[in-house]
């Protein structure tokens, strides 16, 4: 019995570093965020009176500044999520399938190429794409001009601003999804495909009936992480469009940060952040339920 006790303790010890860091850097800040959101928290004021739910009520009261800031930002973020998540999944999977078809050595090379932008910092990403997209001096429009085509206001007109932001996001982050999908594809037993080939299945039906069902758990993981990442979109619009044209690409996080550090209303900014987190959680649960439910029916 004693050995089990110590071995349990040993296992617990392995989890301890993570648990402690998790508590310090995630659990505590979240709890503190909730605490702040229930106070009138002006950072420089000496007193932070408890105000109950009034920060939250303010956000949901029509006509207040908080209300318009939150919902305008949420609408911009929602548009981004709606377009970026399906593409992040489809392009990630597509690249994984393509790269997996390549012969051994080149495969590693392309995997590295596609993954590389993921390691680039936001500011470098922005410098590169500002040069690519520049209306009057950028690379893409120069090419269009050479081909005698009309130039496109990539960052200063809708819907182009969204197209540019999503293209940049794909370039910047797709490597991660691709790697996850490549691993998932390698996990699918080769026998399934062999058996299907013997039965005369086409490549498409193999993909739909073998590949997709086999990687469903990974698909769910990618869907949820992509959704969360897309909800947290900040650097791309902040550095490329600055929220423009007008404030049409001014996403929720930009508004929350302005509210916290320009207006210094950390209390209601925290309330906005908490609402945003709740929304992400609800959407993740829905995504999980949809996938999980279908899986059960399928089994």
Partner 1 sequence: MKKRLATWVSLLTIFAMVTAGCSGNGGNANGNANSGADSGTDGGGKKGEKTEFLFWTPFSGADGPFMKEIVDKYNSSQDSYKIDFVIQPNGEYYKQLDVALSTGKDRPDLMIMHLDQIPTYVNKGQLQPMDNLASAAGINKADYVEAAINYATIEDKWYGIPLDIHPLVMYYNKDLLEAAGVTSPPTNREEFDAAVEKATNKDKGIYGYVVPTLWPQQFIFPTLVWQNGGDLWNGTDVAYNSPEAIEMIEWMRGMVDKGVSPGNVQQDGENTLFLQGKNAIQFNGPWMKSQFDEAGLNYGVAPMPQLGKAKQAVFGGSHNFAIPKDVTDENIIAGIGDFLKYVSSNSLEWAESGQALASKPMLESEEFKALPQSAIAESFPYVQFAPNVLNWPTISEPIWGELNNALLGKKDAKQAMDDAAAKSKQAIGK
32, 31, 36: which is closest to 55 by C-alpha?
36
Question: Taking CB under 8 A as the rule, does residue 16 contact partner 1?
Answer: yes
Site string for partner 1, 120-159 (x = CB under 8 A): ----------xx-xxxxx---------------xxxxx--
Q: Is 65 in the site for partner 1 (CB under 8 A)?
A: yes
Residue 246 makes contact with partner 1 by CB under 8 A: yes
Q: How many binding residues for partner 1 (CB under 8 A)?
A: 45
**Residue from 147, 198, 262, 299 in contact with partner 1 (CB under 8 A):** 262
Strand partners, 42: 265
Residue number with CB closer to partner 1 (101 or 121): 121
Window 219-238: residues binding partner 1 (CB under 8 A) = none
What helix, strand, coil percent values describe the chain, rounded to 5? 75, 0, 20
Smallest distance, Å, CB 24 to partner 1?
5
**Which span (20-28, 29-37, 96-104, 207-215) binds partner 1, by CB under 8 A?**
20-28
When asked if residue 264 is in the footprint of partner 1 (CB under 8 A), the reply is yes
Long-range contact list for 273-280, CB < 8 A, 24+ apart? Answer: 273/33, 273/37, 274/33, 274/34, 274/37, 275/56, 275/59, 275/70, 276/74, 276/231, 276/252, 277/30, 279/231, 280/227, 280/228, 280/231
Which of 133, 171 has the CB closer to partner 1? 133
Alpha helices for 116-246 (secondary structure H) = 122-133, 139-146, 160-187, 190-198, 203-206, 212-214, 216-231, 235-240
**Residues of the shown chain interacting with partner 1 in the complex, contacts defined by CB under 8 A:** 2, 6, 9, 13, 16-17, 20-21, 24-25, 42-46, 63-65, 68, 130-131, 133-137, 153-157, 240-247, 250, 258, 261-264
């Amino acid at each position: 019995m004693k050995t089990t006790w110590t071995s349990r303790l040993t296992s617990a010890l392995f989890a301890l570093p993570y648990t402690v860091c998790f508590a310090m850097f995630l659990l505590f800040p979240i709890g503190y965020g909730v605490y702040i959101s229930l106070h009138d928290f002006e950072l420089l004021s000496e007193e932070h009176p408890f105000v109950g739910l009034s920060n939250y009520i303010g956000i949901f009261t029509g006509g207040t500044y908080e209300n318009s800031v939150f919902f305008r930002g949420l609408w911009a973020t929602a548009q981004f999520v709606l377009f970026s998540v399906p593409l992040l999944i489809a392009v990630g999977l597509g690249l994984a399938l393509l790269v997996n078809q390549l012969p051994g050595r080149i495969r590693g090379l392309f995997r590295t190429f596609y993954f590389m932008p993921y390691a680039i910092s936001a500011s470098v990403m922005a410098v590169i794409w500002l040069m690519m997209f520049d209306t009057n001096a950028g690379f893409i429009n120069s090419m269009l001009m050479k081909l005698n085509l009309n130039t496109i206001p990539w960052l200063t007109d809708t819907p182009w601003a969204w197209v540019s932001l999503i293209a940049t996001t794909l370039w910047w982050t797709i490597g991660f999804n691709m790697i996850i999908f490549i691993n998932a594809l390698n996990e699918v037993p080769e026998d399934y495909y062999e058996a299907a080939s013997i039965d005369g299945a086409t490549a498409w039906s193999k993909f739909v009936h073998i590949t997709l069902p086999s990687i469903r758990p990974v698909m769910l993981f990618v869907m949820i992480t992509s959704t969360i990442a897309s909800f947290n979109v900040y650097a791309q619009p902040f550095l490329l469009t600055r929220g423009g044209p007008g404030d049409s690409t001014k996403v929720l996080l930009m508004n929350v940060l302005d509210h916290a550090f320009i207006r210094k209303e950390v209390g209601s900014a925290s309330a906005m952040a908490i609402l945003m987190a709740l929304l992400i959680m609800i959407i993740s649960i829905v995504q999980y339920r949809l996938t999980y439910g279908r899986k059960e029916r399928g089994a």
